[in-house]
Chains A and B, each alone.
Chain A
Amino acid sequence: MKNLKAFLYLVMPLLIAVPASADSFSVQTWEQGLRASLNAGKTDLTPFFDLTKIEKGALAIPESADRKNMQAARELYAKGQFDAAIQKYNLIEKGSDYWLEALEEKAWAYHLENNFEKSLAQTKTLLAEPLVQVVGSEPFFLQSLSNLKICDYKSIFTTHQEFKDTQRERISAMETLAHTGVSPAIPNVITKADSFPLTFAQVGVEAKTLPLLFYRDLEVQKRLMQVKLTDRGIALIQERMTAANDADKAKLAKTVELLKKSNASGVTGLKNRLQALAKIEDQKNRLMLQKLGLIEVETIQRMHADKDMNRKDFSEGKFSKVDANQLVFPDDGRPWMDELDKYEVSTNACPRNVRRKM
């Protein structure tokens, strides 16, 4: 009954992303307008391909309560007011496009407050089955670092093994994209993008092999829109040309030529931008890998130093008490979708400020 993996993958895009809002730019509506103009015999199609003007309206980031809360949380975080920042992060609901970022930043805030139990509770969610493919490598580093702080060496090695098992495909995809600019996911994203601003709900499974949050990148969206509109425009105009008179046909052919050039430039721009983003992520992956390596070295050293440490010196963690309005379920490593971000961790932490015998 608990094996909901397939179901989780199915609903994940719906769970963590807001669908396109009613006031977003719809490619379908744009297409209908263009088709109507062509059918009316118009040959001046400038308004339909004035990308600068269209982008200005379509790609404006919509103001939302979640965005405001995220900004406020980040400002508080930057000032070191972690408790206040956490309160703001908590306001961001599971359905928000910002939820994953809020979870990760909240995990860091708890970590910086030395509240490793709560930090681990957040990273457990981030590294749970449905999300682990789209969160990147940093949550692994954070989880590993938190485990190091509480001397949970076993969990460090387990985290690193999970990192290898779950991130290999993504890391490899990022490397290929960074070096070649090619990814089988790019054509799929072009097909799926049917409204702007782009959301996670639209890109869905493609996010697994494309740079983190690429769908929010303004340049990616501009280029994607350019490709999408010119692509559809060319198809519609060519369709119309079959029924047009010679004079109109010539004008439309000229437009098609311009659109083809624009389309080619859009494809190149999109490819280049995704390649640049992939390079950034690849560098970050390399950095995270080095940090994980350093944690592993430190772990090996500490294990030898701590192997005779008295377990009685460890602080014994206890779960907080729950009341009749709360339900407690065991963590079997396969969370249900409603269990994400509901983790609680109890740690038996090693004594702080132990003088290391190295």
Chain B
Amino acid sequence: MKNLISNVILIASLTLITSVGFAKSTSDELDTLGGNDKLMDMANSMDPGNRSRIVQKRIVDRNNTFEFGGNYGMVAGGDSYLKTQNLGASIDFHINPRVSVGVRYYDYGNQLTPEGQRVFQEARNAYNAGGQSYAIPDIDYPLHSTMGTVSWYPVYGKTNLLDWGIAQFDMYLIGGYGQIALSSGSTNLAMAGTGVALWMTKHLSARAEIRYQAYKDQIITGPRDINTVNMSLGLGFLL
């Protein structure tokens, strides 16, 4: 059996070599390579399982690096009579590419929602009509907040920026605690969220973030829990 296999191999080898030697043109000779399904199957069954991957350096060095940012956000949830937006500023200190600590400041702008306007207008109308009984909802609106944050960046990736270039990004989890100034006074604020930070150049970043924020406001009936969802978009500069 062994002899038979050796003979088959020898004949196959000679056929291959002679076909290479006497072929008419280089492109004709190309067809002498491969093309044997049985050999391919055999080779597949002997696949040693070699692996390859791509290893790249981060575009931005985020070891002991400061990032200064500004952002604009909208607030969902909370008091149903209020529509709140905010402008924010942040400083993050990246200890390494995985962890950063920072400080965030948000300045809030408040407007009545259509429902809020309707309720106040109704109360005003009732008052103007000399009514004795009318209800004005009590509102405790946010003025500004400051908090310390910790961010963890466990997931990374990269994306094609409209064929202008390739930008790396990190998805992160963020948690924070601080104070929020309300129209009634200051109170504690807790925050947890997630976001994506896009490292556009060595010194420019862009962030999109969604945060859950919880605090207690103070209305005439007493304190109540306010839970809001904050969505923000911002730009940052890395030094």
Smallest CB-CB separation from A315: which chain B residue? B48
Question: Known: A293-B16, A303-B43. Contact between A157 and B34, CB under 8 A?
Answer: yes
Stretch in contact with the other chain, from A33-41, A158-166, A193-201, A261-269: A158-166
Interface: A251 (CB within 8 A):
no
Interface: A87 (CB within 8 A):
no
| B interface: dominant SS | mixed
Contact string against A for B residues 32-67, beta-carbon threshold 8 Å, 1 for contact and 0 otherwise: 111000011011101111111111111001010000
Work out how many contacts link A and B, with CB atoms closer than 8 A.
166
| Residue numbers in A under 8 Å from B158 (CB-CB) | 327, 329, 336, 338
Stretch in contact with the other chain, from A180-188, A205-213, A252-260, A294-302: A294-302
Q: Does B166 contact A337, Cβ atoms closer than 8 Å? A: yes
| Residue numbers in A under 8 Å from B44 (CB-CB) | 154
Cα(A334)–Cα(B151), bound, Å: 33
| Residue numbers in A under 8 Å from B16 (CB-CB) | 293, 296-297
Interface: A5 (CB within 8 A):
no
Q: Does A328 contact B40, Cβ atoms closer than 8 Å? A: no
Smallest CB-CB separation from A169: which chain B residue? B27
Chain B residues 176 to 231 lying within 8 A of chain A, measured CB to CB, are: none
Out of B6, B30, B54, B58, which one reaches A167, CB within 8 Å?
B30
| Residue numbers in B under 8 Å from A296 (CB-CB) | 16, 33-34
Contact count band on A? 35 or more
| A interface: dominant SS | helix
Interface: A42 (CB within 8 A):
no
| Residue numbers in A under 8 Å from B20 (CB-CB) | 289-290, 293
Smallest CB-CB separation from A324: which chain B residue? B97
Interface: A153 (CB within 8 A):
yes
Contact count band on B? 35 or more
Out of A1, A293, A306, A346, which one reaches B52, CB within 8 Å?
A346
How many Å from the CB of A160 to the closest CB on chain B?
A: 4
Q: Does B5 contact A124, Cβ atoms closer than 8 Å? A: no
| Residue numbers in A under 8 Å from B48 (CB-CB) | 150-152, 154, 311, 314, 347-350
Question: Known: A1-B160, A157-B34, A337-B166. Contact between A329 and B50, CB under 8 A?
Answer: no
Interface: A68 (CB within 8 A):
no
Q: Does B159 contact A1, Cβ atoms closer than 8 Å? A: yes
Chain A CB within 10 A, most for which of B9, B12, B30, B158: B30
Cα(A124)–Cα(B9), bound, Å: 30
Contact string against A for B residues 141-159, beta-carbon threshold 8 Å, 1 for contact and 0 otherwise: 0000000000000001011
Q: Does B26 contact A300, Cβ atoms closer than 8 Å? A: no
Chain A residues 46 to 98 lying within 8 A of chain B, measured CB to CB, are: none
Chain A CB within 10 A, most for which of B53, B57, B97: B53
Q: Does A7 contact B163, Cβ atoms closer than 8 Å? A: yes
Cα(A335)–Cα(B160), bound, Å: 13
| Residue numbers in A under 8 Å from B163 (CB-CB) | 7
**Further 6 A-B residue pairs, CB within 8 A, beyond A317-B51, A358-B6:** A153-B46, A154-B40, A343-B52, A343-B54, A344-B55, A347-B48
Chain B interface (Cβ within 8 Å of chain A)? 5-6, 9, 12-13, 16-17, 20-21, 25-27, 29-34, 39-40, 42-44, 46-58, 61, 63, 96-98, 156, 158-160, 163, 166, 168
